[in-house]
Chains A and B, each alone.
Chain A
Amino acid sequence: MNIIFLGTIGIYHPVLAAHLYLGGQWADDHSRLAGWGDFSLEARGVPILVGRDSFGNQVYALGAGVEVAMTRKTIEQLIEVLGHSPDEVLIHTISVGPEKVLLFLYRAGSVRMLQNPINTVVSRLLRHEYPWLRKQVEEFKAKARFS
């Protein structure tokens, strides 16, 4: 089975949620987390493989910009169109408070020299969101019965 944490910018809170799901802890330096702050990965648009859980499920992060709900709907339909069971890909939407700020910062990151400072700012912004991210991941685990 595959698990996708879906959010506005895949390389930020969805990547963090995926790491939390995989048993990671909050650290102020996220630069070593697979996929974190990698603008080229986000630009490609493909799901970012973050790791594999103890059940052998592949865990991904995916960014959908402002169209998170529409993207989720399309992905769920595509899975059926391709003749697969919806259980093969579990999608969990991850949200944070400063979504619009993250979108703005991500766009500003088109200037390459700003990418590292932007990642630092986002890391600080998301520190305040940690309890909420943790809660969303725990809810997902409970729903998916992976405790």
Chain B
Amino acid sequence: MKIIYHCFGGSHSSVSAAALHLGLLDRQKIPTEEDLVRIPYYDKTTDADFGTIRYMGTDDAGNDVYVFGKKSFSNRYTAVLMGIAGILGEQDQLVMVDCMNRINWSMKVGGFTSRRLGLTMVGRPIVTWGTRQAFTQLVNLVEITRVKTLGNNCSN
């Protein structure tokens, strides 16, 4: 299966969730700023990366995990991509996971400052603090996703 975590910029919440899914972050321990910055793509994307589906890794069940940023497209983008998967007869092989409902204001403000304004020195501490605050929410989202995909893998 293909699991795609998505958020506004594809740089913070989706990347953190994908890292949790792949075991790049320990689910039992709130990560430090250094742990987060070590994750591939975390707070490193540019405007050109919007809409780009980036491979993060393959999980222990053999599912490929991706991330991407959809700007403020909300659930519509999920519908569009699931529709395309449906056309190709692959609807059962695609799981879209929206991370936008797991983020907080610190992540929004810090992410905007770091990525859109280019003020990484200012924005990064704010967005990493926000990510640590949202960590349990992201763990919960990933656990739900893993259970869902486990069910799908078993039924296939």
Interface residues of A (CB under 8 A from B): 2, 44-47, 58, 60, 62, 64-65, 67, 70-71, 73-75, 77-79, 81-82, 84, 88-89
Contacts and interface: CB of A to CB of B under 8 A. Distances in A.
A84 B81 CA distance: 14
A45 B76 contact: yes
Contact of B53 (A71, A74, A84): A74
A2 B90 CA distance: 14
The secondary-structure label for the interface of chain A is: mixed
A71 B80 contact: yes
A89 B88 contact: yes
A77 B67 CA distance: 12
A71 B82 contact: no
B122 interface: no
B87 A64 contact: no
A65 B4 CA distance: 22
12 contacts: A2-B87, A45-B80, A46-B83, A47-B80, A67-B71, A70-B70, A71-B51, A74-B51, A74-B53, A78-B85, A82-B90, A84-B88
Contacts, number: 74
B21 to A, nearest CB: 16
Contacts of B86: 46
Interface size class of B (residues with CB under 8 A): 20 to 34
A73 B53 CA distance: 9
B83 A45 contact: yes
B17 to A, nearest CB: 18
B105 interface: no
Nearest to A75: B84
Contacts of A46: 79-80, 82-83, 86
Interface string B58-85: 0000001010101101011111111111
A81 B53 contact: yes
A77 B53 CA distance: 7
A62 B90 contact: no
A131 B64 CA distance: 45
A82 B73 CA distance: 22
A145 B145 CA distance: 43
Q: Which 3 pairs show the lowest CB-CB distances between chains A and B?
A: A45-B79, A46-B83, A70-B51
B46 interface: no
Given A71-B51, A74-B68, A81-B53, A65 B76 contact: yes
A75 B81 contact: yes
B140 to A, nearest CB: 26
Contact of A75 (B2, B79, B80, B90): B80
A78 B91 CA distance: 12
Given A75-B80, A82-B88, 18 more contacts: A45-B75, A45-B79, A45-B83, A46-B80, A47-B83, A65-B73, A70-B50, A71-B51, A71-B77, A73-B51, A74-B51, A74-B68, A74-B70, A75-B81, A75-B84, A77-B53, A78-B85, A82-B93
